[in-house]
Amino acid sequence: MRAFLMVHQSGSFTKAAEQLHITQAGLSALIKELETQLGSRLFERTTRRVSLTPQGLIFLPIVQHMDQQLDSVVRTISDYEHQAQRTLRIAASPVMVNGILPLVLKRHASHHPDDIIELLDVARQDVLPEVEQGNADLGMGLFLRQVSGLKFFRIFSTALMLVSPMCLRTH
């Protein structure tokens, strides 16, 4: 289908083959196969130019529409793949960064290797404000007070908690 469009747009099998990075013979074979499958010639070929037959004119808008839809699907899939790669911003105190967090990040990376982790190494009292202000997706530390809009998860039998506004969005 793309070969058909390229020949139409360029008006030449030679130019279309160059744009598609294939030989002119290969392009001619693609068009011949397409014409065989459709049971109709799509191009009038002369030594000076290539133009669409009446059947080619009927086929053109259908192929253009299909090409646009294919481009749209490719963009959607590409966008999805890029979304699959997440950036996770974690605010944590030096105690967490140097102690527990390396183990947690190692395990996370084994399950989500495409994620990008940005670590905000902040003072213990700044972990919660970083999450509240949206500078971090989650925070790790000791928290003594609950905050509206944030979900707290106990990760140890101590008061050590995981804090994330994302948790509210997923439940």
Helices 24-38 and 2-10, interaxial angle, to 10°?
Answer: 110
Digit-coded pLDDT (tens) for 85-102: 678 888 888 777 776 677
The pLDDT of residue 28 is 93
The pLDDT of residue 171 is 44
Per-domain residue ranges for the chain?
A: 2-83, 86-170
pLDDT: which is higher, 150 or 59: 59
What CATH number is given for 2-83 in this structure?
A: 1.10.10.10
Digit-coded pLDDT (tens) for 14-58: 999 999 899 999 999 999 999 999 999 999 988 888 999 999 999
The pLDDT of residue 26 is 92
The pLDDT of residue 170 is 47
Q: Are 92 and 127 in contact (CB under 8 A)?
A: yes
Is the model's pTM score more than 0.75?
Answer: no
For residues 126-142, average pLDDT: 84
- Domain 86-170 classification at class level: alpha beta
